[in-house]
Amino acid sequence: MSQVCLVVGAGPGIGSAVGMAFAKEGYGVALAARNAARLQPHCDEIRRVTGRAARAYAADAADETSLRALFQQVTAELGAPEVVIYNVASAHKGRATAVPPQQWVEDFHINVVGALVCAQLAAPAMREQGHGTILFTGGGFAHEPSAPYASLSADKAALRSLTYSLAQELGGHGIHVATVTVYGFLQVGTHFDPERIAATYVRLHHQPRGKFEIEVIYK
């Protein structure tokens, strides 16, 4: 089995671009989202361009059981992921005084708890191998909160904090945990082209032990 990159929260933006970037590095790619059928064109393109294995999987980032099943299926079919990318975001607009508490909890579960679950599922095999990479897609709201996006701002700050905690815990085992903090809106043909951003994920993965960056601010 080849080296495997799993992208949770794949789609037409950063997710599929990261999948393509790692396939070009020789990785088999697993793209996961709630609707696997929508990922098939991206998988087809990855296979056409790179010749690497690329498979689509259905998974709900808000459901621990679904994520656990995803990791089991990917490991059985492709191999244990050496690289795990969490690229999920629940971005409901609303100011802090207006967001219903239950919506706040649901957003946090998707934006932060799902990332934690993926790290917990990936870490055992990576520890055993003595290496691995876990990368989270962050956002500028982690540093500069936006009142109209209160829950997303809080969640991106929490995700950044989680990244640093995991990096401190797992770095000694050779596992690189980092966040790519994207300060801007995606637009093809600009500095914020998903393909350009994807190159940052690959660069982080190739950093040697002892020189792991925990955060790259992309702006």
Determine the Cα–Cα distance for residues 62 and 142; give it in Å rounded to an integer: 21
pLDDT computed for residue 77 by the predictor: 96
Domain residues for the domain of 178 are 4-218
pLDDT in tens, 127-137: 999 999 999 99
- Residue 208 pairs in a beta bridge with none
Closest Cα partner for 139 from 150, 127, 152? 152
Please say whether the beta carbons of 209 and 174 come within 8 A. yes
pLDDT in tens, 160-219: 999 999 999 999 999 999 999 999 888 888 999 999 999 999 999 999 999 999 999 999
pLDDT computed for residue 2 by the predictor: 73
**Banded model confidence at residue 1, pLDDT cuts 50, 70, 90:** low
pLDDT in tens, 91-112: 889 999 999 999 999 999 999 9
Give the helix/strand (H/E) hosting 7: strand 4-8
Write the CATH number for 154.
3.40.50.720
Interacting residues of 179 by C-beta distance below 8 A, sequence separation 6+:
135, 136, 137, 138, 159, 160, 163, 214, 215, 216
Give percent of the chain with pLDDT exceeding 90.
93
Tokens linked to 137: 């897609």
What 8-state DSSP symbol labels residue 190?
S
Interacting residues of 15 by C-beta distance below 8 A, sequence separation 6+:
7, 9, 31, 33, 85, 87
Single pTM value for the model: 0.96
Total domains in the fold of the chain: 1
pLDDT computed for residue 29 by the predictor: 98
Instruction: State mean pLDDT over 146-151.
Output: 94
pLDDT higher at 7 or 184? 7
pLDDT at 149 over 80: yes
